[in-house]
Structure 1
C-alpha cells in the first residue's frame, strides 16, 4: 500500500499544469443546419453555471455534453467529462448510472489523462463539498 501511495504521489508530479478552462470549456459556434445546436449551447451554459454551484442534474448535463458534444454545441473533451463524472460520484447523490458513466468515460483514458481529470475535479470538490476527492477504483 505504501508503494502504491508513493507511486501515486510521484506520478502527480508529471501531470501538466491544470488550466481552469479545461474544466470550464467554452461552447462552440453553431454550424448552420444544426437545429438543436443553439438550444444546447444555451442549455450547456445554464447547466455549467448550476453545476458549479453543486446542482446534480446540471453536473450530469455538463458531463454528458463534454463527452457527446451535444449536437455540436460543445467541444468534446473526455478529460473534462471524466472530471465532472468524478465530481458527481463524490457528490453524495450519485446513482448506479452515475458510477457506470464514470467507468465508461474514464476507463479508456491513459493514466496521465486520469491523473489530469483527478486534478481538475479535486479543487471543485473541495469548494462544493468541503472535502478532498475520494479516490475511486472505478476509473
Structure 2
C-alpha cells in the first residue's frame, strides 16, 4: 500500500498540464425564455469550429463572446479572448478595429495573464496557420 501511495504521489508531478492553445470555452445554460442567450449557445460552437479553420469573422465572434459572454451564453474568459485577438492580429486579415479590440482586451491584464495569452495564441497560430506568430503582439 505504501508503494502505491508513493507511486501516486510521484506520478502527480509528471501529469502534463493543459497544453497552451487548448482553450476550451464553456457554454452556459440559459435562463428559460432568454432568446439571445439560446441563439448564442447554439451558434458559438459553430463559430469556434470555423475560427479554428481560419475564418476571420468567426475568430472575431469567438474573441467577442469570450470577453462579453454573448448574452450570458459563454463563460467570460479574458485570457482566452486576448489569445484570440492575438490570433486575429496574426491572421493577415486584421483591421484597425481588430487592433483596437486587442488593446482594449489585453492591456488591462496582468503580466502573467498576458504571458498565458501569448502562449495560447502561439499554439493557436501554429495550429491554424501552420507558422509561428509575428514577433510583436501590440499589447
TM-score range, shorter chain: 0.7 to 0.9
TM-score normalised by length of structure 2: 0.82
Paired with 1:21 and 1:135, the residues of 2 have a C-alpha distance of 17
Match of 2:29 in 1: 29
- Within 5 Å, give how 1:74-89 maps onto structure 2: 74-89=74-89
Cα displacement string for residues 58-109 of structure 1 (whole angstroms, at most 9, x for unaligned residues): 0000000000000010000000000000000000110010011000000000
Paired with 1:43 and 1:137, the residues of 2 have a C-alpha distance of 29
- Within 5 Å, give how 1:39-118 maps onto structure 2: 39-118=39-118
Cα contact 1:53–1:128 (8 A) shared by 2: yes
Cα contact 1:22–1:80 (8 A) shared by 2: no
Cα displacement string for residues 8-35 of structure 1 (whole angstroms, at most 9, x for unaligned residues): xxxxxxxxx5456861312111122422
Paired with 2:20 and 2:123, the residues of 1 have a C-alpha distance of 10
Root-mean-square deviation (CA), in Å? 1.7
Cα contact 2:21–2:123 (8 A) shared by 1: no
Distance 1:138 1:54, change over 3 A: same
Match of 1:119 in 2: 119
**Aligned partner of residue 53 in structure 2, secondary structure:** coil
The alignment of Structure 1 onto Structure 2 pairs a total of residues equal to: 123
TM-score normalised by length of structure 1: 0.82
Distance 1:122 1:20, change over 3 A: closer
Paired with 1:101 and 1:87, the residues of 2 have a C-alpha distance of 12
- Give, in angstroms, the shift of residue 124 of structure 1: 1.5
Paired with 1:130 and 1:138, the residues of 2 have a C-alpha distance of 21
**Structure with bigger gyration radius:** 2
